Amino acid sequence: MATAPQVEEVAGRTSAKKFDVIVVGAGLSGIAAARYLKTRTPQKTFTILESRDRIGGTWDLFRFPGVRSDSDMHTLGYSFRPWPSVQSIGGGPVILQYIRDTARADQSDRQIRFGHRVVKASWNSAGACWTLDVAVAPEGIVERFTCGFLLMCTGYYDYADGYLPDWPERERFKGRFVHPQHWPDDLDYAGKRVVIIGSGATAVTLAPAMAETAAHVIMLQRSPTYIVARPAIDPLASWAKRRLPASLAAPLLRWKNILLGMWFFNYARKKPETVKKQIAQGVRRFLGPDYDIETHFTPRYNPWDQRLCLVPDADFFQAIRSGKLSVATDHIERFTETGLRLRSGQTLDADIIVSATGLKLQMMGGMDVEVDGRSVDFAKTMNYKGTMYSDVPNLASAFGYTNASWTLKCELTARYVCRLLNYMDAKGYAYGTPRQLDPSLGERPTLDFTSGYILRARDVLPKQGTRRPWRLHQNYLQDLVWLRFGRVADKAMEFVPKRS
């Protein structure tokens, strides 16, 4: 374990930096937070602390071939700066440029301090403030920042490491072994045999992209995933952008996709067998009647028990039909010098093995959090309105939907934080703390998903309750009403007045 950097005075720098609000993270949600803080709480001073040296978060970190959104861009894009293209599914570089352009247009980029990694955040009730220990690159010397409110926009996974199973004899493999979260710039896979381990969004994205130039690609999965093809270009978007003014086209496309996504999710939950058949029919339409759909594309779980994978213009299925990509459904027995041996006895030879095995979830960007000297274990907290945490004052985090675009919830969270800040100013409150004092309230996991990365993180994630304001609905319309128009002062929120 690395030794924690020490707090030191730096010549020529102010040792303490004070702000009303500090945003941590300059990715998709951090740039949204900056927009709303600037426009809805102009009286507040704020800064954005970003541990990396570039804007973009996830979309700057992931550089693997074919990286793209797995949500439609008309809802993943910002409501205040609509997605300008007719493309439904955006490529990673295009999304990254969109985020950077948005930050530049809002001048939010001027608020960002790059190379600032928050190591620890400590709340002091007497002073009604957070004190942040921030390691500043390149020396790693820690500087102190203080703020009245802390807004975390760090996402929910570990940027340093992805999930890697403990496979037997992995060190025996003589070829190149790669995790997509750390894609090497020098990897040349043209004409090479590639095995991609995994069946989620990353694997389904990588496989057709690598198949374009690789000798052959095999996607090895332990169990199938639901894969749904959709057009890369939304026909309604093409029509609307030609025929309607932008002020009408953008909200039309956004709300069409919001409502369609909500309808399909609820339909899948109510009639899972019908949706299973419909998805299977779609796959068979692309792969033909002789393909073994039952083995390779029929999951053991119901649709939306895990997130569906979207493939634009059926590129994944087209790669299979071309013979450049194949799917194997089996378990790894062990690695060999030349590839993999499977439990069935089959061997897969490979020059390159890609471990698309998912994420490691992490709360608060991995920083330590204390409240009045007591360490906070977020797994023992309860999520309040999907934005704050029980017994943690003046802290909110942007945590997107699992069944819809991340940005939808993050914008609602940022707007709610602005409402909360303005309410506390108007009433003369120093801080607000969610308190769960109802002994009859039931407890549930925050995310009701069976995906491996969610199940592995049950001891990391906070809990949710069985009713408001502690229940998460994964429903944009309910959250829209609740967060934008619901009462700020409810029975669960304890406010403390400012000291005179």
For residue range 204-237, list pLDDT tens digits in order: 999 999 999 999 999 999 999 999 999 888 888 8
* Residue 378 identity: F
Residues 197 and 298 in one domain: yes
Give the whole-angstrom CA distance, residue 32 versus residue 230: 28
Q: What percent of the chain has pLDDT over 70?
A: 95
Q: How far, rounded to the nearest angstrom, does the alpha carbon of residue 328 sit from its chain's CA centroid?
A: 28
Cβ(487)–Cβ(469) under 8 Å?
no
Residues 408 and 469 in one domain: yes
pLDDT digits over 246-263, tens only?
A: 889 999 999 999 999 999
Nearby residues of 347 by Cβ (< 8 Å), 6 or more positions away:
336, 338, 339, 340, 341
Would you state the pLDDT for residue 80? Answer: 95
Q: With DSSP H G I counted as helix, E B as strand and the rest as coil, what are the percentages for the chain, rounded to 5?
A: 30, 25, 40
Give the 3-state secondary structure of residue 61.
Answer: helix
Residues 349 and 364 in one domain: no
Would you state the pLDDT for residue 460? Answer: 79
DSSP 93: H
Residues 305 and 380 in one domain: no
CATH number of residue 326's parent domain: 3.50.50.60
Residues 380 and 488 in one domain: yes
Question: Rounded mean pLDDT of 74-87?
Answer: 92
Band of the pLDDT at 443, cuts 50, 70, 90? confident
Domain that holds residue 328: 170-355
Question: Rounded mean pLDDT of 419-428?
Answer: 97
What single string gives the DSSP state of each residue in 345-368? Answer: S-EEE-SEEEE-----B-SGGG-E
pTM (two decimals): 0.90
Asked whether residue 141 is domain-assigned, the answer is: yes
Question: Rounded mean pLDDT of 307-328?
Answer: 94
Residues 116 and 182 in one domain: no
Residues 250 and 318 in one domain: yes
Would you state the pLDDT for residue 208? Answer: 96
Asked whether residue 11 is domain-assigned, the answer is: no
Band of the pLDDT at 98, cuts 50, 70, 90? very high
Question: Rounded mean pLDDT of 364-390?
Answer: 94
Band of the pLDDT at 363, cuts 50, 70, 90? confident
pLDDT digits over 40-75, tens only?
A: 999 999 999 999 999 999 999 999 999 999 888 999
CA atoms within 13 A on the CB side of 109: 14
Q: Is the pLDDT of residue 2 over 70?
A: no
Q: Tell me whether residue 273 is exposed, middle or buried, using C-beta atoms within 10 angstroms of its C-beta: 0 to 12, 13 to 18, 19 or more.
A: exposed
> Hey, what long-range contacts does 266-274 have (CB within 8 A, 24 or more apart)?
268/302, 268/303, 268/304, 269/302, 269/304, 272/302, 272/303
- Tokens, residue 282: 């779609």
* Residue 458 identity: R
Would you state the pLDDT for residue 452? Answer: 65
Would you state the pLDDT for residue 11? Answer: 35
Would you state the pLDDT for residue 70? Answer: 84
pLDDT digits over 117-134, tens only?
A: 999 999 999 999 999 999
Asked whether residue 54 is domain-assigned, the answer is: yes
In the numeric block, the tokens 């009045």 are attached to 372
Q: What percent of the chain has pLDDT over 90?
A: 73
Question: Rounded mean pLDDT of 163-174?
Answer: 92
Q: Mean pLDDT of all residues in the chain?
A: 91
Give the whole-angstrom CA distance, residue 33 versus residue 26: 9
Give the 3-state secondary structure of residue 492.
Answer: coil
Nearby residues of 247 by Cβ (< 8 Å), 6 or more positions away:
none
Band of the pLDDT at 352, cuts 50, 70, 90? very high
Would you state the pLDDT for residue 57? Answer: 93
Residues 490 and 365 in one domain: yes
Would you state the pLDDT for residue 449? Answer: 64
Would you state the pLDDT for residue 498? Answer: 92
Nearby residues of 182 by Cβ (< 8 Å), 6 or more positions away:
162
Question: Rounded mean pLDDT of 315-320?
Answer: 96
Nearby residues of 261 by Cβ (< 8 Å), 6 or more positions away:
72, 75, 403, 404, 405
Would you state the pLDDT for residue 220? Answer: 97
Residues 265 and 379 in one domain: no
Q: Is the pLDDT of residue 455 over 70?
A: no
Give the whole-angstrom CA distance, residue 13 versus residue 6: 16
Residues 194 and 334 in one domain: yes
Would you state the pLDDT for residue 88? Answer: 87
Asked whether residue 450 is domain-assigned, the answer is: yes
Domain count, the chain: 2
Residues 175 and 319 in one domain: yes
Q: Tell me whether residue 20 is exposed, middle or buried, using C-beta atoms within 10 angstroms of its C-beta: 0 to 12, 13 to 18, 19 or more.
A: middle
Would you state the pLDDT for residue 12? Answer: 35
Q: Please list the residues that pair with 87 across neighbouring strands.
A: 233
